[in-house]
Amino acid sequence: QKEVEQDPGPLSVPEGAIVSLNCTYSNSAFQYFMWYRQYSRKGPELLMYTYSSGNKEDGRFTAQVDKSSKYISLFIRDSQPSDSATYLCASTGGGNKLTFGTGTQLKVEL
């Protein structure tokens, strides 16, 4: 079993929809949680970085961590075609050794 599980999709939504992306993790030592966005043929780009449980909002993006259920979520409001990419969740107990989910492919259609 992978330490971080993520539904690979693909997920297709109409423009303007609210998108919900989710991951679960099994390692209780994980304290830091990240969401990266990766466009085709590019490296991952950090979207959100959260520590422990709670919500963090940045523009159209909200990251949510529930440590009691080991559940990580990313919500995208008013989704745009430019949001079409692969979204990767990642966790670490500290330091730079990140454990990634396999990524969810998102397509936002006009």
Partner 1 sequence: KAGVTQTPRYLIKTRGQQVTLSCSPISGHRSVSWYQQTPGQGLQFLFEYFSETQRNKGNFPGRFSGRQFSNSRSEMNVSTLELGDSALYLCASSLGRGEDTQYFGPGTRLTVL
CB of 78 to partner 1, least distance (A): 25
What is the Cα–Cα distance from 110 to 92, expressed in whole angstroms? 36
Q: Does 101 bind partner 1 (CB under 8 A)?
A: yes
Kindly state whether residue 32 participates in binding partner 1, applying the rule CB under 8 A.
yes
Q: Per rule CB under 8 A, is residue 1 in the interface with partner 1?
A: no
Name 86's Cβ contacts closer than 8 Å, sequence gap at least 6.
37, 38, 39, 103, 104, 105, 106
Region 57-96 residues binding partner 1, contact defined as CB under 8 A: 88, 90, 92, 94-96
User: Which of 49, 61, 71, 75 touches partner 1 (CB under 8 A)?
Assistant: 49
Residue ranges that bind partner 1, judged by CB under 8 A: 32, 36, 41-46, 49, 51, 88, 90, 92, 94-103
